[in-house]
Structure 1
Amino acid sequence: MTTSFLADTFQTPTPSVSSSTSTETTPTREPVKVVIFGSKTGVNSTILTLYKLGFAQVNEWSPLLPSSNPGEVMSILTRYILTN
Structure 2
Amino acid sequence: MITQSFLSSIEETNAATNSSNEVQIVQGKEPLKHILIGSSKAVTSTIYHFQVIGYADVGDWSPLLPSPNPGEVMSILNRPIVVQ
Name the structure with the higher helix share.
Answer: 2
| Percent of matched pairs sharing the same residue | 51
Q: Give the SS at the match of 2:69.
A: coil
Any stretches of 5+ residues in structure 1 without a counterpart? 1-25
* Contact 1:36-1:76 at 8 Å conserved across structures: yes
| CA offsets 1:26-62 (integer angstroms, 9 cap, x no match) | 4354210011111111110111111101110000000
1:75 corresponding residue in structure 2: 75
Q: TM-score, normalised by structure 2?
A: 0.63
Any stretches of 5+ residues in structure 2 without a counterpart? 1-25
RMSD, matched Cα? 1.5
Q: Give the SS at the match of 1:30.
A: strand
Query: Based on CA coordinates, which of the two structures has the bigger radius of gyration?
Result: 1
How many residue pairs get matched? 59
